[in-house]
């Protein structure tokens, strides 16, 4: 039998085709590469390797800094062209290989200065002046025509990344049919390749460049050997003049350093930017190799090893100025690793560890979940049987159950849940009622596990295919199975009419809030009789809800729900406000009544409760002594010292505290002494048994005597007949309430009754 069950046991779903998975992942990698979505990964890896390979700049370049010291000595910016002329003259005299300005000369200055500068440029013959974008970035600015006659031109175009940091430089631009090299390309002696860029070698430490102050050069204070034979870059390096850029790994520095680093890169040799496609292709091959193997360990080792390889390979390449972007490739390996491991975990999570059958998670994903009837078999004593089994024998039990449930339906896909739940989707054309009757008959015989026989209590629930989600249908079928057991049936269909009731219960709290605002929640008042004077002296406020469609809603239902879900505060405040307002009005009309309002134990932790009660009393003008707040004895017994403190604060307002349902909470004398109660209400379970049980009469009598000795008033609730009322009067009980005295009604009806009774007394 175990063999048969094993052969019928359905296997878990096959994972997606490795080929299809690889193709979709590579497509995602292409999108990532085209949109540069992996730039952060490339930035981190390239800067990491640049930091590890960091070295000093060569001696080929000297930076002539227009720094703060130069501004103090030469004068405020912009300088006269005469100052730049002196700078060119000095650098030329000292034998600079080339003089490269990172300063624009697109506008005219004073005529004498412009003339002096032109003369110096002509005399030097080794100066390069830049072309740059205008402020509106719509046109390029050139140096004055008289300057360009004696100089070379170079472009200042920079390549920024997603963090606005300079990542590369232009080889040059095409302008009016001419190829203009970038400043770095020109200084390094390379030709222009218009509209192409090259990466900067950031392993060169920009702070290691030889540098001198422009003011010292003009004043002749710089030794010629610092300039002779070197490429001179002239630019601003002070924050005062702007022209500051973010250099990855080094922070803000003058733009002249960028062109110097670009030149240093090109002097070494032309950098090669391989882009992201080679790494993506390599990672695709690694992924294909990993997917070709079925063992999880090998797959993860190949993917992890591939990721490590693709991260390490750029380091020696970058040291040789070969730059490789690995972000899209890393993304591909990460996606593949995540997918294969998630699929494996999902498949494991969809298999019951006890029976090896698909579990209820797999059931929810079954494509048949919205079409066929769903059948649930509930083994009601499964846990009891499993606990009595020998160690590791539960699988033998589930094998036998599976074999019986699959009788008459070879190849049935059976699902196994916790606590003895088995489910399946009924096969088309099957006479379901007769089939379930037959399955139930099979379980009349006990199952046998390792020589022991165990009787199985089983019932079936069915949810007809309704288009609802599998999780909803499963819940419905389980309810039907439980109802079948409770009603002594073998199986039962789910009753769709229950859905409306379940939906109503789930939305009850939100509808309660709306009902309070619309006035559907109102207050009924049950009169309290003074047994000594036979007069109505007070009322208890009771919450009532009349739904416009469902009619009266049980207070037990909506008050219990409000307490369980921390919504009791709004309901209590509403009832308190309505009741205090009504009773205060009666008080002003000369008909004083004590008002009792139930208080939830959950509100004893609300520090604002006393102030809200005081505000309500003051707002409506009801004396605090007329208000009684009733707290169940069980809730008070479970309270903490903080709860007792809250009750003391309420009592200090002048409000009276009443212990409701007294006798159900195993009260002690210590408890009665601590709780600041002015009143004790004996629970109706004792009052209703007063006539028939001597023990209840003794208990009530002793409670009245004890309460009076402690200065408490005693109220009997649930008084329903005249004989019980007379017994309570004889015992010395103070107050009573119940059907014999009056049912809960509107305050208007209570006041009418008072008027009639007082009129009769006067007459």
Partner residues linked to 596 by β-bridges:
540, 628
Q: Look up residue 502 and give its two tokens.
A: 């379940």
As a CATH number, domain 360-502 is: 3.30.70.270
What's the pLDDT tens digit per position in 717-748?
A: 989 889 999 999 999 999 999 988 998 888 99
Instruction: Pick the range with the lowest mean pLDDT from 368-377, 394-403, 664-673.
Output: 664-673
Q: What percent of the chain has pLDDT over 90?
A: 33
**Is 270 a residue whose pLDDT tops 50?**
yes
State the DSSP string of 646-689. Answer: HHHHHHHTT-EEEEEEETSS---HHHHHHS--SEEEE-HHHHHT
Q: Check if the beta carbon of residue 145 is closer than 8 Å to that of residue 116.
A: no
Residue 718, phi then psi, degrees to nearest 5: 80, 30
Instruction: Pick the range with the lowest mean pLDDT from 50-59, 428-437, 505-514, 689-698.
Output: 505-514
Angle subtended at Cα 303 by Cα 297 and Cα 309, rounded to the nearest 5 degrees: 130
Question: What's the pLDDT at 417?
Answer: 83
Look at 463 and 348; give whichever has higher pLDDT. Answer: 463
- Tell me which residue of 194, 192, 259, 202 sits closest to 231, measured CA to CA: 259
What's the pLDDT tens digit per position in 57-101?
A: 999 999 999 999 999 999 888 999 999 999 999 999 999 999 999
Mean pLDDT of 503-527: 82
Question: What's the pLDDT at 645?
Answer: 86
Question: What's the pLDDT at 7?
Answer: 37
Residue 715: which pLDDT band, with cuts at 50, 70 and 90?
Answer: very high
Most confident residue range from 356-370, 449-463, 607-621: 607-621
**Is 668 a residue whose pLDDT tops 60?**
no
Partner residues linked to 110 by β-bridges:
none
Question: What's the pLDDT at 731?
Answer: 93
**Is 542 a residue whose pLDDT tops 70?**
yes
**Is 319 a residue whose pLDDT tops 50?**
yes
Residue 15: which pLDDT band, with cuts at 50, 70 and 90?
Answer: very low
- Tell me which residue of 631, 645, 744 sits closest to 681, measured CA to CA: 631
Question: What's the pLDDT at 536?
Answer: 93
Residue 640, CA distances (Å) to 36, 145, 646, 665, 680 in order: 62, 93, 10, 15, 20
Q: Look up residue 743 and give its two tokens.
A: 């049912």
Superfamily grouping for domain 507-750: EAL domain (3.20.20.450)
- Tell me which residue of 173, 128, 122, 123 sits closest to 149, measured CA to CA: 122
Q: What percent of the chain has pLDDT over 70?
A: 90
What's the pLDDT tens digit per position in 104-150?
A: 998 898 999 999 999 999 999 999 999 987 665 567 788 999 999 98
- Tell me which residue of 666, 658, 682, 669 sits closest to 709, measured CA to CA: 669
Question: What's the pLDDT at 343?
Answer: 66
What's the pLDDT tens digit per position in 292-311?
A: 887 777 888 888 888 888 88
**Is 513 a residue whose pLDDT tops 90?**
no
Look at 322 and 216; give whichever has higher pLDDT. Answer: 216
Question: What's the pLDDT at 4?
Answer: 37
Question: What's the pLDDT at 576?
Answer: 94
CATH topology match: 360-502 vs 507-750: no
Look at 199 and 669; give whichever has higher pLDDT. Answer: 199
- Distance between CA atoms of 695 and 507, rounded to whole angstroms? 45
DSSP label at residue 411: T
**Domain boundaries of the chain, sorted by first residue:** 18-38+276-346, 55-269, 360-502, 507-750
Mean pLDDT of 629-646: 68
**Is 492 a residue whose pLDDT tops 90?**
no
Question: What's the pLDDT at 459?
Answer: 92
Residue 643: which pLDDT band, with cuts at 50, 70 and 90?
Answer: confident
Look at 462 and 633; give whichever has higher pLDDT. Answer: 462
> Mean pLDDT over all residues of the chain?
84
Helix (H) or strand (E) holding 69: helix 68-74
The SS3 assignment for 713 reads: strand
**Is 1 a residue whose pLDDT tops 60?**
no
Look at 648 and 10; give whichever has higher pLDDT. Answer: 648
Residue 71, phi then psi, degrees to nearest 5: -65, -35
| Count of C-beta atoms within a 10 Å radius of residue 285 | 10
**Residues contacting 749, CB < 8 A, separation 6+:** none
**Is 612 a residue whose pLDDT tops 70?**
yes
Q: Look up residue 222 and give its two tokens.
A: 């710089």
Question: What's the pLDDT at 42?
Answer: 79
- Tell me which residue of 461, 488, 466, 487 sits closest to 476, measured CA to CA: 461
Crossing angle between the packed helical segments 277-292 and 18-34, to the nearest 10 degrees: 160
Mean pLDDT of 229-237: 94
Q: Check if the beta carbon of residue 260 is closer than 8 Å to that of residue 209.
A: yes
State the DSSP string of 152-220. Answer: EEEE--EEE-TTSBEEEEEEEEEETTEEEEBHHHHHTTPPP-TTEEEE--TTB-GGGSEEEEHHHHHTT
**Residues contacting 291, CB < 8 A, separation 6+:** 18, 19, 21, 22, 299, 336, 340
Residue 382: which pLDDT band, with cuts at 50, 70 and 90?
Answer: confident
**Is 659 a residue whose pLDDT tops 50?**
yes
> Considering just the CA atoms, what is the radius of gyration of the chain in Å?
46
Residue 56: which pLDDT band, with cuts at 50, 70 and 90?
Answer: very high
Look at 273 and 670; give whichever has higher pLDDT. Answer: 273
Mean pLDDT of 203-225: 93
Mean pLDDT of 159-163: 67
Residue 248: which pLDDT band, with cuts at 50, 70 and 90?
Answer: confident
Mean pLDDT of 450-454: 86
Place of tokens 């208000």: 627
Instruction: Pick the range with the lowest mean pLDDT from 123-132, 308-317, 374-383, 550-559.
Output: 550-559
The backbone region for 244, taken as left when phi is positive above 0, alpha when psi lies in -120 to 50, beta otherwise, is beta
Place of tokens 């007082």: 758
Torsion of CA 733, 739, 740, 743, to 10 degrees: 110
Question: What's the pLDDT at 669?
Answer: 63
Mean pLDDT of 473-495: 83
The backbone region for 559, taken as left when phi is positive above 0, alpha when psi lies in -120 to 50, beta otherwise, is alpha
Question: What's the pLDDT at 734?
Answer: 96
């Amino acid at each position: 039998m175990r063999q048969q069950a094993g052969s019928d046991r359905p296997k878990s779903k096959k994972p997606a085709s490795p080929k299809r998975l690889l193709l979709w992942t590579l497509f995602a990698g292409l999108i990532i590469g085209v949109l540069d979505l992996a730039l952060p990964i490339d930035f981190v890896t390239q800067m990491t390797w640049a930091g590890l390979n960091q070295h000093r700049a060569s001696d080929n370049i000297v930076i002539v800094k227009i720094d703060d010291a130069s501004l103090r000595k030469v004068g405020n910016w912009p300088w006269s062209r005469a100052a730049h002329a002196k700078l060119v003259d000095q650098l030329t005299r000292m034998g600079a290989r080339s003089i490269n300005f990172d300063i624009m000369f697109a506008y005219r200055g004073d005529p004498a200065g412009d003339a002096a500068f032109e003369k110096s440029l002509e005399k030097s013959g080794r100066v390069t002046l830049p072309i740059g974008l205008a402020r509106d970035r719509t046109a390029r600015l050139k140096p004055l025509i008289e300057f360009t006659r004696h100089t070379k031109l170079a472009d200042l175009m920079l390549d920024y990344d997603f963090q606005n940091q300079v990542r590369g430089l232009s080889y040059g631009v095409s302008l009016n049919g001419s190829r203009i090299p970038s400043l770095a390309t020109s200084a390094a002696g390379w030709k222009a390749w218009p509209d192409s860029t090259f990466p900067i070698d950031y392993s060169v430490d920009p702070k290691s460049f030889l540098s001198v102050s422009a003011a010292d050069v003009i004043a002749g204070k710089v030794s010629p050997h610092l300039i002779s034979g070197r490429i001179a870059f002239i630019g601003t390096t002070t924050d005062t003049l702007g022209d500051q850029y973010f250099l990855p790994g080094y922070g803000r520095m003058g733009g002249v350093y960028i062109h110097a680093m670009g030149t240093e890169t090109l002097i070494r040799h032309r950098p090669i930017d391989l882009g992201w496609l080679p790494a993506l292709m390599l990672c695709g091959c690694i992924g294909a190799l990993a997917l070709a193997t079925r063992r999880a360990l090998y797959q993860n080792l190949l993917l992890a090893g591939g990721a490590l390889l693709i991260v390490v390979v750029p380091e020696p390449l970058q040291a040789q100025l070969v730059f490789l972007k690995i972000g899209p490739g890393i993304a591909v390996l990460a996606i593949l690793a995540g997918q294969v491991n998630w699929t494996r975990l999902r498949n494991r999570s969809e298999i019951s560890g006890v029976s090896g059958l698909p579990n209820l998670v797999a059931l929810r994903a079954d494509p048949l979940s919205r079409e066929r009837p769903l059948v649930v078999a509930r083994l009601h004593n499964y846990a009891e049987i499993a606990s009595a089994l020998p160690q590791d024998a539960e699988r033998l039990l589930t094998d036998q159950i599976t074999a019986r449930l699959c009788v008459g339906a070879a190849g049935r896909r059976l699902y196994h849940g916790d606590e003895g739940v088995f489910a399946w989707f009924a096969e088309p054309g099957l006479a379901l009622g007769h089939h379930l009757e037959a399955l139930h008959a099979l379980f009349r015989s006990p199952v046998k596990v390792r020589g022991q026989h165990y009787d199985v209590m089983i019932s079936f629930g069915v949810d007809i295919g309704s288009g609802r989600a599998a999780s909803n249908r499963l819940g419905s079928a389980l309810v039907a199975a439980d109802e079948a057991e409770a009603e002594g049936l073998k199986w039962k269909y789910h009753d769709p009419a229950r859905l409306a009731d379940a939906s109503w219960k789930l939305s009850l709290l939100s509808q309660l809030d709306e009902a309070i605002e619309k006035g559907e929640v109102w207050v009924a008042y049950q009169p309290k009789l003074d047994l000594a004077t036979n007069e109505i002296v007070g009322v208890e406020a009771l919450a009532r809800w009349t739904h416009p469609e469902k009619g009266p809603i049980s207070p037990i239902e909506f008050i219990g729900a409000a307490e369980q879900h921390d919504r009791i505060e709004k309901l209590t405040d509403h009832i308190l406000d309505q009741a205090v307002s009504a009773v205060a009005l009666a008080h002003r009309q000369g008909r004083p009544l004590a008002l009792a309002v139930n208080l939830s134990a959950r509100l004893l932790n609300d520090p604002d409760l006393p102030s809200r009660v005081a505000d309500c009393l003051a707002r409506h003008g009801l004396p605090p002594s007329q208000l009684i707040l009733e707290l169940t004895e069980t809730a008070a017994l479970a309270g903490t010292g903080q709860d007792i403190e809250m009750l003391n604060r309420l009592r200090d307002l002048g409000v009276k505290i009443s212990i409701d349902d007294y006798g159900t909470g195993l009260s002690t004398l210590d408890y009665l002494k601590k709780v600041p109660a002015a009143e004790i209400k004996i629970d109706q379970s004792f009052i209703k048994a007063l006539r028939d049980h001597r023990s209840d009469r003794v208990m009530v009598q002793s409670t009245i005597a004890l309460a009076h000795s402690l200065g408490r008033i005693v109220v009997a609730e649930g008084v329903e007949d005249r004989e019980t009322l007379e017994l309570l009067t004889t015992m010395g009980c103070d107050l009573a309430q119940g059907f014999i005295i009056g049912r809960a009604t509107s305050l208007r009806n209570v006041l009418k009754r008072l008027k009639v009774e007082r009129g009769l007394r006067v007459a």
